[in-house]
Amino acid sequence: MKSCLFDLNQWIDDAPADLRQSIGESALVQLARDAAQTVAAQKPRLNGREGAQPDPQMLLALLTYCYAASIYGSQEIEWACHEDPAVRSICANSSPDWRAVWCFRNANRPWIEECLARVYGAASSATPTRASHDAAPVLETRTEAPSGLIAFARRKLRHAVWADAAVYD
């Protein structure tokens, strides 16, 4: 058991800042969507305004993908919703503005951390593939995120907070 934990910790230390480099863009999109669906199903209700657009589950997938792809700032995410094809595919016909991204992140940090941990957990168990825009490889999904990944996900989320703070400093 200890060697498995060591391997996971080593993978975390060596994980690229942009997870698309190791598993590919389409795989990351799929992992983010799957994680958001799983986490949203386990929670009674994602925090957000009732009936407000955009959809909270979509925002959860969006932020999970963006943070795993090293897109941290809320304004940068808003830009990506318009300009990045992978991000647009997550958003479908919705383009949240930076304020909606910022508010959702601040209201749902534990759930975003859980999604990120799940994505990195699945990526750590995947055989590295060429980074591509092709169909996503099938990756193992776990029923719950390994505890070591929660701290890693929390650090990734902190980068987003710092990126937004830097805009206003």
Q: Which residue has the higher pLDDT, 52 or 137?
A: 52
Question: Radius of gyration of the chain from Cα atoms?
Answer: 15
Poorest-pLDDT segment among 6-15, 59-68, 100-109:
6-15
Poorest-pLDDT segment among 25-29, 133-137, 156-160:
133-137
Share of the chain above pLDDT 90, in %: 46
DSSP state, 94?
-
Query: Per-residue pLDDT averaged across 2-21, rounded?
Result: 62
Q: How confident is the model at residue 46 (pLDDT cuts 50, 70, 90)?
A: low
Query: Per-residue pLDDT averaged across 98-124, rounded?
Result: 91
- Kindly report, residue by residue over 117-153, the tens digit of the pLDDT: 999 988 887 644 444 444 444 444 444 555 678 888 8
Poorest-pLDDT segment among 1-10, 29-38, 69-78, 86-95:
1-10
Q: What does the alpha-carbon distance between residue 104 and residue 64 come to, in Å, rounded to a whole number? A: 12
DSSP state, 51?
T
The CA-to-CA distance between both ends of the chain, in Å, stands at: 45
Q: How confident is the model at residue 81 (pLDDT cuts 50, 70, 90)?
A: very high
> CB under 8 Å to 94, separation ≥6 — which residues?
53, 54, 55, 58
